[in-house]
Amino acid sequence: MEPLVGCPMFILSQKLKRLKIALKEWNKNTFGDIHVKVKDDETHLNHIQMQIDSNGSSSTLLNPQKQAQMNLDEALNMQEVFWKEKASYS
C-alpha cells in the first residue's frame, strides 16, 4: 500500500476510504450476501416440502425439513438485522 502524504485531514480521509473498502470486502467474505442466502434457504426448504407433499412425511424428510427451516429462520433474522442497521445509518 502506498504511503499517504498531505495534510492530516487528507491523510485521515484517505485512511477512512481504505478502511471502508477493506471492511466491505471483509463483510462480503465473512457473511456473504444475506439476500442470496435467504433465497437459497427458501428454495431448499420448498424443495423438501414438495418432496413431503409428493411422497408423504418420513423421518428421512422431516429431519432435513426441520434443519432447513432453522437455516431459513437464521438467515431471515440476519436479514432483519441487516435492514435495521441499514435504516439506522440512513
* Distance between CA atoms of residues 82 and 89, nearest Å: 11
As averages over each run of 10 residues, the pLDDT of the chain (90 residues) reads 90 96 88 90 97 88 95 95 82
- The CA-atom distances, in angstroms, between 78 and each of 8, 47, 65, 85 are 38, 22, 20, 11
pTM greater than 0.75: no
* Distance between CA atoms of residues 49 and 45, nearest Å: 6
Max intra-chain CA distance, the chain: 71
- Residue 90: predicted pLDDT: 62
- Residue 2: predicted pLDDT: 86
- Residue 71: predicted pLDDT: 97
- Residue 87: predicted pLDDT: 87
* Distance between CA atoms of residues 84 and 90, nearest Å: 10
Q: Tell me how long the chain is.
A: 90
* Distance between CA atoms of residues 6 and 31, nearest Å: 35
